[in-house]
Amino acid sequence: MIELIPAIDIINGNCVRLTKGDYDKKSVYSENPAEMAVQFEHIGYKRLHVVDLDGAKSKHIVNVKTLKSITDNTALTVDFGGGIKGENDIETAFANGASMITVGSVAVTEPTLFTSWIKKYGAERIILGADVRNGLIAINGWKQDAEIELTDFLDKYVELGIRNVLCTDISKDGTLSGPAIGLYKDIMTRYPDLHLIASGGVSCAEDIQALDEAGIPAVVFGKAIYEGKIDLKKLWDWQNG
């Protein structure tokens, strides 16, 4: 059964969603992300994906207080990304309650450094962020494309022990247009042992059920929650019924 991971994206301490990663297309849904996290936990969810969008833009963690507020007020397993560019950022994330970190840009721009993090912290605590646009990896808050193909990127780090991969189809993110199921099926065919987390485009419970039927191990979803397209309780009951 697919793992369900609600998402909270943060700008200025608020829970927001962007469309296709565009900071100029921002919707604010809550001024209290920790309160949202508590609601998820009360329904039964165990896992939360948190993205510091200010951090992704600034290239260092910014919303530390919000992360700490979430982890202080819930027992959720929090994976945290956005702005993790150095070891200080990793230590800050872990010290403030994150169980796992999601890293994308550094894995592209500084592969030696990222490899050292895998060795130091363990592959089980690191999620490789593979943000894709037109088949190429995008970095730095999706503001630029790297000249590296998705499969080349994944090949490198799967060989080094990475098993957790968060793959976002940027063209789908925040659009409620349905997930890129074909992309995720192709990844799973090539890397059947990955714990692949699909991200982007989820518009309804049926999208998640389709990902489950396609054999995708996990899914992150956010905008569909905040726009009232998904009933979190019904979704949880479906998974656990």
User: Which residue numbers are catalytic?
Assistant: 9, 131
Hey, what amino acid is at 169? D
| C-alpha 60: how far from chain center | 17
Gap between the Cα atoms of 89 and 98, Å rounded: 11
Compute CA 50 distance to the chain's CA centroid, rounded to the nearest angstrom. Answer: 7
Q: How far from each other are the two terminal CA atoms of the chain, in whole angstroms?
A: 11
Q: Name the H helices within the chain.
A: 33-43, 53-58, 64-73, 87-95, 105-109, 111-121, 150-158, 181-190, 205-213, 223-226, 232-240
* 76 phi, psi to nearest 5 deg: -65, 145
